[in-house]
Structure 1
Amino acid sequence: MAHQSDISSPRLDLLRREVEQSVLKPFRTHGWSISDTSEYAHEDLIKITAQRGMEKIRIAILYSSSGISNLRYRALGNEVDHIFFHGQPYMLESFAAGVTIPVVPLSSFFPFLVALNKRIEPDRSPQLPIQRPKTVKRLTAEQPIDAVFARLQQFTSVNLAAKLVKRRAADADLAMTPEVVASKSTGIAFSLRSALDYIVSTPGDRLNKRVLGLYYGTMAFAQAEMLASPSGPIDLDEVEGMTKQGHGLYTLAGPNGVFSDLRIGVLATGFLPQWASFLGYDITNYPTRKARSFGDIEKQPQGTVCSLRDLFSSVPEIDDLFSEVFNGAVNWLSVRYDDKTNMRFSVHGMAEKKYDSTYGLFHDRSGEISVERLSKAGWPLAEIQRVEDFVGPGTLFRARVDHAGHDVWWSVLPTHSSPFGTRSTLLLPTVGGLRDYRTIVAVTLYALSIMARYMPSAWRRIEGGDDDQYLALIKASLSVWERVLPEHFLESIAGEIVHTAQPGSFFG
């Protein structure tokens, strides 16, 4: 219901337009309904009552902080919950003296609105600090992967690896003895030599050789990643001890022995759970025993077994091929800033403030991901809802990203990017809760390596038989991984953000 005074004024007309843009539209965009709007021309004042669920709020907006008397200010303080004023403050302490509710500039409406929203869905900012690299390494080359390999190659030198260990220890403000520096650097150099020997392939290499080389190269990269971390293992013997109980993974072939039937499970012992724990994953529900049959899968802890399809659904770079081969949901969403909901603009020259929450848009191209899946992904998201008026393929979601303690909302989201046009994506948790790109790829390569070595009939059907629809999927994925994995591991080993570009390009 709206009430308007019989007399208007230029100031009230201006205030009405400002309130419509800066208050009423944001209220509606954020799911609030406006139950009452009243205008008072003789005071250049607008009062609004808004409601969302069980929450109800009454606010007043003045054209000027000095537009009403102190007596009226005090009376208004009993009529509403919050007072805003348009423009800059003038003698506010005098005019609003004795008022017990907030009296603030209209420019602060957005954080006020977010605070209201948090009454309904509480703040979900990460409780533990998220460690992010502080420095950026920019690599420019005609073939950017060559520059990545060159930087990885430098750490095959024990002397340069030692400098890396010392730098990262200093960045973490951690004291490290010369003996530990020496043992770590020796392990890093050896692991990277092994990784580079495995991972480098030529166009003429057979498919199974590329799969095996990339898998074992990835495992060696992961060992170097842990050794390079100041809080990681102190020598190669400790890392190699993790592998004595196996890979920490197992496969289970379906009754027909075909690609789509293969299941992959995680275990509590072996290398994979050690690596996952190092990366901060909770592995307490990882089982100690393998599923021996498809009937046993239901007895395994939830989320510890998946299919090959589930793993390939986490590769955004091959989304077109994936949709041709499989049906159903993908396991990732693209992310972007929500210009409409955030109101990131200054009001009459007032400086933009930093906020503890930011609204983002999350695009599911498959249109199969549910709000429930998003809410269980483990990200600091609240107010997740579908954007009903979205026009385009799939489904668009809007959500509040809580990031208290972080200036940038991006820093609390584990976004994945690559040179293949997927600069900002989020991977939903897959087997064992894994959502880091390199861990998911490692599990996928393990499954493919098992099939290539121990399931020759199934592999033959892929390379030129009834299951040849999977061949293009595997080849495309390998090409992506051979380019992306070295760059991702360079970031994790060097403790730096790596940006690659070609000379003359926009980012070059």
Structure 2
Amino acid sequence: MKFEKVLTDDPIKEMWNRLDILSTISGAKKFLKERINEDSEISEEILEDKAKGIAFCIRSAREFFQTEIDHNMSTASISFYYGTFNFLSALLLADIENNYTLKDIEKFSSYGHGFKLFNNTDEEKILKRDNLIVNSNGFFYKFLKELNYDENLISMQGKYYSLEEVEEEEKYKIIDIKELISRIPELRNTFIEIFNEQPLYLNLNCRYNLTDQELFVKFPFDKNSPYLSDEDIYQILDWPNDIELSQKIETSRLKIITRDKINKNIIPDKKELHKSVLCYDCYIKPLLGIEDIFLIYFMFLYVLSIWTRYRPNLWREIVEGRFDIYRPLITKFLTSSERILPNIFLNKIYNRRFLFTGHSYLG
């Protein structure tokens, strides 16, 4: 992936300025033409329709993301969801390997956006009370399929109207809301203060000693959490039990040493790490095979959009009632969404990493 640095005192504004050329039909068409190879069979008509769709989606996304978060948490929750929906739509349209146009996006969405939110009224904890499932139709299902995810591993194959109806073999696909939040590294400090536990991601660095056939992996507490345990490491990295974990060697970190038949594949590749200006580089535990933080954000934004529109009693409790401890978490999530989602979209559509920062950051 290529790298592009953009110096700016206003990263959010500059991201949209950088995207602005794709919000024009001629700019989007030029972008598509530069990606067509000589073997492509895409017609001029489809190219034109794709360009119109991309330009429209980006203009719509920009409009939705203009919502101020302060004193507008409800409106921002809905607007950012639809802004991200437009980003995902633009990514589908920008793929020259398909012939999709806005008509197809409309068709996919006619079956819904691909989610269902179930409420378990017996559950006391609010973030365990609501559960999300991915349907086997709708926009999100189609998006996963186009990205070559194993949609059968993620989406419910049966039609269910309550959690009790879910077949035993599909229950692992039920996602509680805390599972989503715990995979968003930009929320680290707030998440840790509220829940007093290690989130489902890890900052790590490693060194391989060829002479002694040892692999040293360090997990700094200050970049993870003071609650980080051996069990957390095994769970997040999905390690087998035969990997030996040494004692803590300093108050600031843990060290892992494996000696026999060492396998460096137990450590995530650098390409698998989430990189963001709002958090430390880290490995996020996949959710039903989903590794893309962009999709995790989209899923939680869907939850917020449902709460704000259809769960007024619950939403009031979050805003000013007995669940108001979660309000700062949601505010931080929306603030993070505003900053990093346009950035991730730029990374994806141009296939390069964009860094928007001031001169002091580079210094």
1:283 aligns with 2:140: no
Equivalent pair of 1:269/1:288 in contact (CA under 8 Å): no
Match of 1:435 among 291, 298, 303: 291
1:498 aligns with 2:354: yes
1:168 aligns with 2:74: no
1:209 aligns with 2:67: no
1:164 and 1:359 map into 2 onto residues whose CA distance is 45
Question: Residues 393 and 439 (structure 1 numbering): CA distance in 2 closer, same or farther, change over 3 Å?
Answer: farther
Match of 1:248 among 114, 121, 134: 114
Equivalent pair of 1:161/1:186 in contact (CA under 8 Å): yes
Post-superposition offset of 1:360: 5.7
Give the corresponding residue for 2:48.
182
Match of 2:17 among 141, 150, 153: 150
Question: Residues 256 and 211 (structure 1 numbering): CA distance in 2 closer, same or farther, change over 3 Å?
Answer: farther
Superposition RMSD in Å: 3.0
Equivalent pair of 2:69/2:331 in contact (CA under 8 Å): no
What is the identity, as a one-letter code, of the residue corresponding to 1:224?
A
2:255 and 2:192 map into 1 onto residues whose CA distance is 18
Give the corresponding residue for 1:447.
303
Question: Residues 485 and 185 (structure 1 numbering): CA distance in 2 closer, same or farther, change over 3 Å?
Answer: same
Give the corresponding residue for 1:417.
275
Decide which structure has greater helix share. Answer: 2
1:169 and 1:362 map into 2 onto residues whose CA distance is 44
Match of 1:375 among 232, 238, 246: 238
TM-score by length of 1: 0.62
Question: Residues 329 and 389 (structure 1 numbering): CA distance in 2 closer, same or farther, change over 3 Å?
Answer: closer
Equivalent pair of 1:309/1:326 in contact (CA under 8 Å): no
- SS of 1:165's equivalent in the other structure is helix
TM-score by length of 2: 0.85
1:426 aligns with 2:286: no
1:426 and 1:466 map into 2 onto residues whose CA distance is 33
Matching of residues 333-482 of structure 1 within 5 Å: 333-336=202-205, 338-339=206-207, 341-342=208-209, 361=218, 365=225, 366-367=228-229, 368-371=231-234, 373-375=236-238, 385-392=244-251, 397=256, 400-402=263-265, 409-411=269-271, 413=272, 415-422=273-280, 424-430=281-287, 432-482=288-338
- SS of 1:155's equivalent in the other structure is helix
Shifted more, 383-392 versus 208-217: the winner is: 383-392
2:45 and 2:204 map into 1 onto residues whose CA distance is 45
What is the identity, as a one-letter code, of the residue corresponding to 2:331?
K
1:303 and 1:278 map into 2 onto residues whose CA distance is 23
1:256 and 1:206 map into 2 onto residues whose CA distance is 31
1:488 and 1:382 map into 2 onto residues whose CA distance is 35
1:222 and 1:369 map into 2 onto residues whose CA distance is 32
Shifted more, 205-214 versus 283-292: the winner is: 283-292
Give aligned pairs, total: 346
Question: Residues 248 and 389 (structure 1 numbering): CA distance in 2 closer, same or farther, change over 3 Å?
Answer: same
Post-superposition offset of 1:216: 0.6
Question: Residues 433 and 303 (structure 1 numbering): CA distance in 2 closer, same or farther, change over 3 Å?
Answer: farther
What is the identity, as a one-letter code, of the residue corresponding to 1:313?
S
Post-superposition offset of 1:164: 1.2
Question: Residues 176 and 233 (structure 1 numbering): CA distance in 2 closer, same or farther, change over 3 Å?
Answer: closer
Match of 1:488 among 339, 344, 357: 344
Post-superposition offset of 1:203: 4.5
1:268 aligns with 2:136: yes
Question: Residues 401 and 498 (structure 1 numbering): CA distance in 2 closer, same or farther, change over 3 Å?
Answer: farther
Post-superposition offset of 1:384: 5.0
Match of 1:331 among 185, 200, 203: 200
**Structure index of larger Rg:** 1
Post-superposition offset of 1:289: 3.6
Please give the per-residue CA displacement for 1:424-465, whole angstroms capped at 9, x wherever unaligned. 2111122x4322101011111111111111111111111111
Q: What percentage of residue pairs aligned between the two structures are identical?
A: 24
1:307 aligns with 2:181: no
2:218 and 2:241 map into 1 onto residues whose CA distance is 12
1:141 aligns with 2:8: yes
2:30 and 2:53 map into 1 onto residues whose CA distance is 14
Please give the per-residue CA displacement for 1:78-122, whole angstroms capped at 9, x wherever unaligned. xxxxxxxxxxxxxxxxxxxxxxxxxxxxxxxxxxxxxxxxxxxxx
Post-superposition offset of 1:389: 3.7
1:410 and 1:482 map into 2 onto residues whose CA distance is 26
Question: Residues 236 and 455 (structure 1 numbering): CA distance in 2 closer, same or farther, change over 3 Å?
Answer: same
Equivalent pair of 1:164/1:494 in contact (CA under 8 Å): no
Structure 2 segments unaligned to the other structure (5+ residues):
none
